[in-house]
């Protein structure tokens, strides 16, 4: 009586565990995408300048969240991960350069 329908409680627990598992899987995919993006940046420019700018802006705008429940890692974790990856791989920071014209958004 205190807990109500036990089946409902079990369903909620399973659903919560599934959501947590999916969030962790999704965060792993996001980290792989960040790594791939850094590889593309280095291949195109020979350095990692600008790799963390977007995540730093998100960090400044966002604040702290429960990133273990989110589908994306917290921007702070992404910044730290990319900085460590650049250090570990010896990727120079370099100077930021504009995107090539084929990647720039054209105003209409």
Which single residue is written with the structure tokens 């890692």? 73
| Nearest residue to 78 via CA among 60, 59, 102 | 59
In a domain, 98, yes or no: no
Q: Give the global pTM.
A: 0.64
pLDDT of residue 9: 47
pLDDT of residue 91: 93
Q: Residue 83 sits in which domain range? A: 28-93
Model confidence pLDDT, tens digit, residues 21-52: 555 658 888 899 999 999 998 998 899 999 99
pLDDT of residue 92: 93
Distance CA 88, CA 108 (A): 42
CA 48 from chain centre, in angstroms, equals: 16
pLDDT of residue 18: 55
Q: In the chain, how many domains are there?
A: 1
In a domain, 104, yes or no: no
Model confidence pLDDT, tens digit, residues 87-107: 999 999 888 887 777 777 776
Give the long-range contacts of residues 81-84, CB within 8 A, separation 24 or more: 81/31, 81/34, 82/34, 82/38, 82/48, 82/51, 82/52, 82/55, 83/52
pLDDT of residue 35: 94
Q: Which residues contact 4 (CB under 8 A, 6 or more apart)?
A: none
In a domain, 54, yes or no: yes
In a domain, 5, yes or no: no
Lowest mean pLDDT among 55-59, 61-65, 72-76, 98-102: 61-65
């Amino acid at each position: 009586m205190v807990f109500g329908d036990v089946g409902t409680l079990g369903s909620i627990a399973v659903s919560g565990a599934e959501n947590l598992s999916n969030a962790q899987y999704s965060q792993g995919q996001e980290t792989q995408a960040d790594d791939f993006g850094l590889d593309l940046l280095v291949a195109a420019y020979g350095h990692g300048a600008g790799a963390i700018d977007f995540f730093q802006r998100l960090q400044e705008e966002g604040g702290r969240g429960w990133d273990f429940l989110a589908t994306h890692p917290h921007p702070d974790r992404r910044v730290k991960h990319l900085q460590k990856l650049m250090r570990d791989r010896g990727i120079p920071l370099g100077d930021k350069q504009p995107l090539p014209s084929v990647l720039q958004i054209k105003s209409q």
